[in-house]
Amino acid sequence: MRALSLTVTAVTTTLIAASIGVPALAADAPDPGLGSAPSSSAPPSSAPAGGEDDSAPSPDPTSAPSSAPASAPDASSPDSSTGSTAGGGTAVDTYSAAVSDVERIALDPAEVTILGARWNGEDPGLEFRSETNGAWTGWEDLPAADDPGPDESSPEAAQSTDAAGESEAVPVLDSTAVEVRASAAGAATTDLTITTAATPVTDADESLAQRPDPGTPSGLSPQKYNEGLKANIITRAEWGADESLVRCQSDQTSSAKGVFVHHTAGSNSYSEAEAPGIIRGYLAYHTQSRGWCDIGYNFLVDRFGNIYEGRAGSIDKAITGAHASGFNSSTIGVSVLGTYTGSAPSSAAQKAVERVIAWKANTYGFSPTGSMTLTSGGGGTAKYPAGQKVTLKTVSGHRDTSYTDCPGGAFYSRLGAMRTNAAALQDDLGYSVGGAIGSYYRANKAATGEPTGPERSLSNPDGAYQFFEKGVVYWSKS
């Protein structure tokens, strides 16, 4: 059995006890136990945990070559590729390529395609261009990846696919073909492969693009409206995640200390209906090409301000993502679709990211304008060696821990204002109440009042507690 009680903070202490069976807890919500635990001999404190390190996983996780296409071999012929079609209509194909050739791949313009490459040896300096209505775009860089991915020592990294180098994965939209070439034609590159993950824009995608504004909760379905976020969130089911692509269960930690902000790279000109397909493509590419457990980001935001659930479980739990190698544990990765080097994301996108930050700050008890201390897990482009403790802002950019431009210079310059804005949102959003404590709160609101802080863990006894207007609710595994 697991016990719940409310201790009213008054001269005379009143104890209200309730017992909830384990099956009801499992069906109701994830077990509580978030935040920092006070010592067993000290009274609970409502102060956030601050910068102490707590990254251990929870024991119960849930001049360039010629551009003439005439000499380009057609890499889309069946004998030059391997591929599969995932459930939900996402087709993943991998093509063998050579740095001396221009590789041409036929595309369906009705589909959203994610394009990426992997190789061994030297970076070939890849470039790509696409064809729309018979006209080719100019050549663009397909840059080497900036080392997102699982933490180097994690079980997820151990089962990921190995390659000495890989490119960013970028969307190609409304195109009948794409070509990829190497600008470093003499590079000592071997095992070059190009992978596409293509998915059609569906009727469901179109209907998501027509749903009510996220800021107006009236009339929204409970599947799209999140009480803690006080806005719509597009769940995995709604954006069409193919759960059969998930390769393993992601790690989780007891809490989260802060947020890393990212951009995905690639086009900023996608339509609202194309955004879910881009995310489906990333799910397929991250799992099938890179071998990660799931999509790398915990949450994604499009240029229209829509918020998407990323890695499974991230809405309710501190799920470890694959977004900032070496610093995934105890952090949340939020990525905006597009490239934001020369211009910042739209106001709608920035406000959506601020809302996610404020929501998770309330959930886990960190300050959006504060700092956090993390222990580096190391990695190829990490700025800090494995084991080094690093103090960072609780809302940081990917470039703060890795040698990368992410989230783009223009976006990065906005983070100071976004931290302030997220902090100002916290009172409007209020504090989340979940799990067993949430069940008790909903049944006893008159006795508890409204929550005044986030849920925090207890070590002795093993459990959790949360402050309310009229007292403290405790939960224990007794």
Asked if 299 contacts 334 with a C-beta cutoff of 8 angstroms, the reply is yes
Question: CA-CA distance, 117 to 165, in Å (whole number)?
Answer: 9
pLDDT digits (tens, 9 = 90+) for 174-184: 999 999 999 99
| Distance between start and end Cα atoms, the chain | 6
- Count how many Cα atoms sit within 13 Å of the Cα of residue 316 in the half-sphere of its side chain: 14
Specify which of 73-82, 263-272, 376-385 reaches the highest per-range mean pLDDT.
263-272
The pLDDT confidence band at residue 5, using thresholds 50, 70 and 90, is low
Asked if 145 contacts 200 with a C-beta cutoff of 8 angstroms, the reply is no
The pLDDT confidence band at residue 380, using thresholds 50, 70 and 90, is low
The pLDDT confidence band at residue 213, using thresholds 50, 70 and 90, is low
pLDDT digits (tens, 9 = 90+) for 229-288: 888 899 999 999 999 999 999 999 999 999 999 999 999 999 999 999 999 999 999 999
The pLDDT confidence band at residue 186, using thresholds 50, 70 and 90, is confident
Question: CA-CA distance, 438 to 360, in Å (whole number)?
Answer: 17
- Whether the link from the prior residue into 150 is cis, omega within 30° of 0, is no
The pLDDT confidence band at residue 54, using thresholds 50, 70 and 90, is very low
From its phi and psi, is residue 151 left (phi > 0), alpha (psi between -120 and 50) or beta? beta
Asked if 294 contacts 61 with a C-beta cutoff of 8 angstroms, the reply is no
Residue 123: strand, helix, or coil = coil
Which amino acid would we find at residue 75?
A
The pLDDT confidence band at residue 21, using thresholds 50, 70 and 90, is very low
pLDDT digits (tens, 9 = 90+) for 131-179: 999 999 999 999 888 767 888 888 888 888 877 789 999 999 999 999 9
Asked if 305 contacts 18 with a C-beta cutoff of 8 angstroms, the reply is no
SS3 annotation, 126-177: EEEEEEECCEECCCEECCECCCCCCCCCCHHHHCCCCCCEEECCEEECCCCE
Please give the average per-residue pLDDT across 391-402, as a whole number. Answer: 96
Averaged confidence pLDDT in the chain: 81
Q: What is the token pair recorded at 124?
A: 């070939």
The pLDDT confidence band at residue 205, using thresholds 50, 70 and 90, is very high
Higher pLDDT, 442 or 419: 419
pLDDT digits (tens, 9 = 90+) for 300-334: 999 999 999 999 999 999 999 999 989 999 999 99
The pLDDT confidence band at residue 9, using thresholds 50, 70 and 90, is very low
* Nearest Cα to Cα of residue 262 among 123, 408, 142: 408
**pLDDT at site 322:** 93
